[in-house]
Structure formats: structure tokens, C-alpha cells
Amino acid sequence: MKTLHALTLVLIAAGGLSLAQAQGLRAEVGRPLQQAAEFLKAGKAREALAKVREAEAVPGRTAAEQLTIDRMKAAAAQRAGDTATAIQALEAIHSKAGGAEQGQVAEQLASAYAQQRNNAKASEWINKAVQAGNNSASVKQMQSFLQGASGDYTAIARDAGAAVSAAEQAGRRPDEGDLLRLADAQQRTGNLAGYSSSLEKLLAHHPKKDYWSAYLGRLPRKAGFAPRYEIDVMRLRLASGTLTKTEDFMELAQLALQAGLPTEARRIADQGFKTGVLGTGPEAARHQRLRDLAVKQEGEAKTNLPSQVADALTQKTGDALVKYGYAQVSLGDFDAGTKLIEQGIAKGGLRFPEDGKLRLGMAQLQNPKTKAAAVQTLRSVKGSDGAADVARLWVILGNP
């Protein structure tokens, strides 16, 4: 528990100035309070509390004397671990305090009642602290603790959500703790859409591997998420540093081969070998065979791509142009590949129109000259089948 009102100790440190002189107290009140302050400074809280009680026994105390007694009593009782006495003194002070001090005293009372495990009274006083304008980090932390202890996750979601919204409206980065509390409360109350949104904000403002793992782990299970985006989820895991298992590297490389992207497959294998995820253990030979296959198909792709593109130009829909355009981007020919994707989108008739915009945005993001355009393209991707989710994550990550 914090010690209330630093006045008592500041007086002693001031170099001989007596408490009675500073506060205009009568000697019979000021003397024991001065001694109490000295005991507090020496770490003798119980002795200090005894001296406070001597001052409190003086008859005819003025309002100013009683307030000073209560301040010293609260400080001594807090340090002595006498929570009941601290509460009695703090409540007396709160009734007389004004301005910022009232909010500070209310926080002290909330902490004291929490120590007594009286969460109802603690919540009452923490709310009074907020009403008095005390919005410190410690108040927010206690408010969240008390709401969690009561199981009131609706209140946590409301308060944390308000804090996040206020930060966003002010152009500030939302506090990580507020976002975590909001996400937890949303998950506990079954607000899965809100939970997903809060996780995205954590990725955007406080990117950590744990958050990427949590988000990408649940994304394929989202209602309506299309299996064709499995490769995209794994690409995002690779780019965010959360693809770490040997079998995952193998699976992603195989998916790239199946998609007609052997250069991407070879790069995935190369990264796996470089980090030691591939090329070791009893399956090392299998890893090498996969990489060799990617290299072989990469050479074939370079030879066959011109005729495949020529054929795609004759087709009625733009699907093949998008496919081979992205393959050309994968080979490192950004400008020509991006142009083919744009031609495919313009031709129309795409089976999945949003996929075309997603591939265009990903292609633009890989080209240093078109990264700004990539963000605009990716933000234009719509739909509820996973394309828009993947696009937003590439905007956050910014480096496919």
C-alpha cells in the first residue's frame, strides 16, 4: 500500500522545522506528532502510531489539528500493517480532502479494503478515485484486478475498450495492458470478433511472437475461412518468425510447389537449411530431396513460363494471368509479374476476384518501388473467406 501524503516525512527532512511550526499546531498536539514523524523516518511504525494516539487524546482539537493527526495516523498505520486503523483515518481525510488529493485518498482506501479482501468496498472506492480524476496506471491495474476477481468481464471489456478507443481517437498507441485486458475479457464473454480485432491491434502496436502465434493459430478455424489460404497462413508464420518446426517448413515448401511456385519453395528450404530446421536428423535426406526437387522445378519454370503466359493471354478469364504473374514475381521479375496480375484482374471473370487483389498487393509489397501502392491494394481486399484477414496481416507485417 502506498504511504499517504508525503508531508509528514518531508517536514522532518526539511532540517529541523517542527511539525507544530509548519502546521500551526498547539505544542501539546504538535510535539507527539513530531515524534511520530521521527519514528516513521526511523522505520518504527508502531511507535509512531502510539505517538499519534497521544496527540489524538488532547482535548479540544481544532479541525486543522485533527486533519494533521489523521494524516499521520494513516501513514503510521499503513506502515505498521494496521489496515483497520488506516481505513478509519483515510475515510476521515477523504471527507475533508479536495481536488487531486481526494482521488489519491480514494485509491488508498481501495487498496486497504482489497487487503482486507473486501472487494465490494474496494470497488466502491476505486470507482470514487476514477470519478475524482485519478486515472493513474495503478488505479487501472486495481480496477482490472477487482473486476476480474468479481468475474465482471463485461465491465473489464467496457473499461479497457474505452481506454483503447480514447488512445486511438487521440492519435496515440493503445496501451498494451489495456489491449490484453480487452482481448481476455472479449474471449471470456464469447465476443470472438472483438477478440480477433484486439489481437490484430496488439500485432499492429505491440508486435510479439506470442501474439502472432495466438492470432495465426486461430485464424484457420475462423468461420468461413477457406482452405485455399492455408499457404498464406503458413507464409505469415514464416515471415513473423513463428514457423519453427521441421514438418512445418516441409509442408510450406510442398504447398509452394503445388501452387506452381518452385522458387518460393526453394527459398523456404534454403531458410530451413540455414537455420538448422532442415538438413539434420534421420529425415535429412528427405529434406535434401525436397530442396533438389524445388531447384529442378525452378529451372523448368524459367523455361516454361513464357509459353504459359502466352497461353494465359488467350484465355477468356484472368485467372491464369494472375497465377503466372505471381509466379513471375516469385522468380524476381517484379515489374513484369505485377503487370500480368493487373492484366488478369482487368480481364475479369476471376473465380475469386478478391484473390486477385490479394496477390497483386503481395506482389507490390515485395517490390521496393511499389510498397506504398501495396498497402492501398491490400486494404481494398474484402470478403469473409480469409482474403481480407490475410491482406490486413500483410499490411501489419509489411514484408512478405
Confidence of residue 2 (pLDDT cuts 50, 70, 90): very low
How far apart CA 240 and CA 203 sit, in angstroms, is: 10
Residue type, 239: A
What's the mean pLDDT in 369-376?
94
Amino acid identity at 324: Y
Under 8 Å between Cβ of 76 and 52? yes
Spatial separation of the C-alpha atoms in residues 256 and 266, rounded to whole Å: 9
Percentage above 70 pLDDT, the chain: 94
Instruction: Compute the distance between CA of residue 324 and CA of residue 343 in angstroms, rounded to an integer.
Output: 11
Give the other-Cβ count within 10 Å of 346's Cβ.
10
Task: Give residue 1's pLDDT.
Answer: 41
CA distance 39 to 224: 69
Does position 399 have pLDDT exceeding 70, yes or no? Answer: no
The pLDDT tens digits for 154-182 are 988 998 999 999 999 999 999 998 899 89
pLDDT digits (tens, 9 = 90+) for 210-250: 999 999 999 999 999 999 999 999 999 999 999 999 999 99
Q: Mind listing the pLDDT tens digit for each residue in 27-53?
A: 999 999 999 999 999 999 999 999 999
Distance CA(128)–CA(105), nearest Å, equals: 10
pLDDT tens by residue, 279-294? 999 999 999 999 999 9
**Mean pLDDT, rounded, of the chain:** 90
Number of neighbouring beta carbons within 10 Å of residue 76: 29
pLDDT of 9: 41
Put simply, whether the predicted model's pTM sits higher than 0.75 gets the answer: no
Closest CA to 335 of 364, 374, 312: 364
Report the SS3 class of residue 116. Answer: coil
**pLDDT band at 23; cut points 50, 70, 90:** low
Q: How confident is the model at residue 147 (pLDDT cuts 50, 70, 90)?
A: confident
pLDDT in tens, 302-355: 999 999 999 999 999 999 999 999 999 999 999 999 999 999 999 999 999 999
Largest Cα–Cα separation, the chain: 105
CA–CA separation, 214 and 194 (whole Å): 14
Location of C-alpha cell 487483389: 357
Q: Is the pLDDT of residue 10 over 60?
A: no
> Cell digits for 356?
486477385
